[in-house]
A and B are shown apart, each in its own frame.
Chain A
Amino acid sequence: MTDTPFVIAGRTFTSRLIVGTGKYPSHAIMAQAHAASGAEMVTVAVRRVNISDRSKESLLDYIDDRIFILPNTAGCYTADDAIRTARLGREAGLSHWVKLEVIGDERTLFPDNEALIDATRVLVKEGFIVLPYTNDDPIACRKLEDAGASAVMPLGAPIGSGLGIQNANNIRIIREFSKVPVIVDAGVGTASDAALAMELGADGVLMNTAIAGAEHPVQMAEAMKHAVIAGRLAFLSGRIPRKMYATASSPLEGVIGT
């Protein structure tokens, strides 16, 4: 079975892996990891310029020109702040795409669904391509889609937790319900988590800490590239059903000594 292209809001991506730009040991390692991951879209955060210390080099100098930059609204706890941040990101980046985050709780960084849906509605009206980071809740995802989201990005587990997909069944249901792309965002710890997300039918996976925080980020980026490809192929290939007991792979006839 041949794959369909990965298209978000009319833009086609060859790679189904989206990666972050935070928490790398250095900008140079980040750039190498991006290249190794094969990602064509990376997320960035929007923050105040450090007025007193202008010496810091710009992140953008280390992002390949061919990579599409997706600003996020991380750290926003209200719809208003997220909307303001999205508008600033658009102005700074000259793109009208946003990874929309409205966080509801500091410890879990779980999204505030109600505020997220409100902010999605407002930003879609302003012409944004909105990719909301959401709970792994099929109903919330449906409401986000109705509000005009161009994709839904359910979490696999809390941000930076590395716990892997906690509710595989919900991801499967979200895929079944959604007409827009489903991107599993957050919670990936290692390659098998990314592969599982794709095997469940996700259209893409977004991760940051799993790569940036690994002992060898560039190698892990490459592992993630392969995991996403492998998971996608496995999904398309139609896996065998799970059975309680063995079914022999070798012929039962002609065994010697019988």
Chain B
Amino acid sequence: MTITLNGERFELDSPKSVAALLAQLDIDPRRVAVEHNLNIIKRQTFSDVLIGEGDSVEIVNFVGGG
């Protein structure tokens, strides 16, 4: 199945939770914020929210800025 991850096509073998996706990508969940189909996902619910076919996911963190 295909999702849009940070604006680009991304292949997933099966639907998975936000927590599982972050683990697959080797991303520390404490350092990022996640938006799923334009909804902000609370960190406590990363394990509960399922990402499915065609979904759009944004994963952001802090970078240097003024």
- B-contacting residues of A (Cβ < 8 Å)? 20-24, 30, 43-49, 51, 54, 58-60, 69, 71-72, 74, 84, 87-93, 159-160, 186, 206-209
Given A54-B25, A74-B65: 10 more A-B contacts, CB < 8 Å: A20-B66, A21-B63, A22-B65, A30-B64, A51-B6, A59-B63, A60-B62, A84-B38, A88-B35, A208-B66
| A134 → B minimal CB distance (Å) | 15
Q: Mark B1-34, 1 if CB is under 8 A from A, else 0.
A: 0000111101000000000000001111001111
CB-CB under 8 A from A72, the residues of chain B are: 65-66
Task: Say whether B62 contacts A71, CB under 8 Å.
Answer: yes
CB-CB under 8 A from A88, the residues of chain B are: 33, 35, 40, 58, 60
Task: Say whether A208 contacts B65, CB under 8 Å.
Answer: yes
Task: Say whether A46 contacts B40, CB under 8 Å.
Answer: no
The number of residues on chain B lying at the interface, defined by a beta carbon within 8 Å of a beta carbon of chain A, is 28
Task: Say whether A23 contacts B32, CB under 8 Å.
Answer: no
Q: Is B49 an interface residue (CB 8 A)?
A: no
Q: Mark B44-66, 1 if CB is under 8 A from A, else 0.
A: 00000000000000111111111
CB-CB under 8 A from B42, the residues of chain A are: 91
**Distance between Cα atoms of A177 and B41 in the complex (Å):** 40
**Distance between Cα atoms of A88 and B58 in the complex (Å):** 10
Partner pick for B66 among A84, A89, A159, CB 8 A cutoff: A159
**Distance between Cα atoms of A159 and B10 in the complex (Å):** 36
Task: Say whether A51 contacts B25, CB under 8 Å.
Answer: yes
| B1 → A minimal CB distance (Å) | 17
Partner pick for A84 among B10, B35, B61, B62, CB 8 A cutoff: B35
| B2 → A minimal CB distance (Å) | 15
Partner pick for B65 among A44, A58, A92, A186, CB 8 A cutoff: A44
**Distance between Cα atoms of A91 and B34 in the complex (Å):** 8
Partner pick for B33 among A91, A186, A208, CB 8 A cutoff: A91
CB-CB under 8 A from B63, the residues of chain A are: 21-22, 44-47, 59
CB-CB under 8 A from B35, the residues of chain A are: 84, 88
Task: Say whether A43 contacts B33, CB under 8 Å.
Answer: no
| B26 → A minimal CB distance (Å) | 5
Which residue of the partner chain B has the closest CB to A60? B62
**Distance between Cα atoms of A135 and B21 in the complex (Å):** 41
CB-CB under 8 A from B7, the residues of chain A are: 48
Q: With A88-B40, A91-B40 as known contacts, state yes or no: A49 contacts B64, CB within 8 Å.
A: no
Partner pick for A49 among B10, B27, B40, B65, CB 8 A cutoff: B27
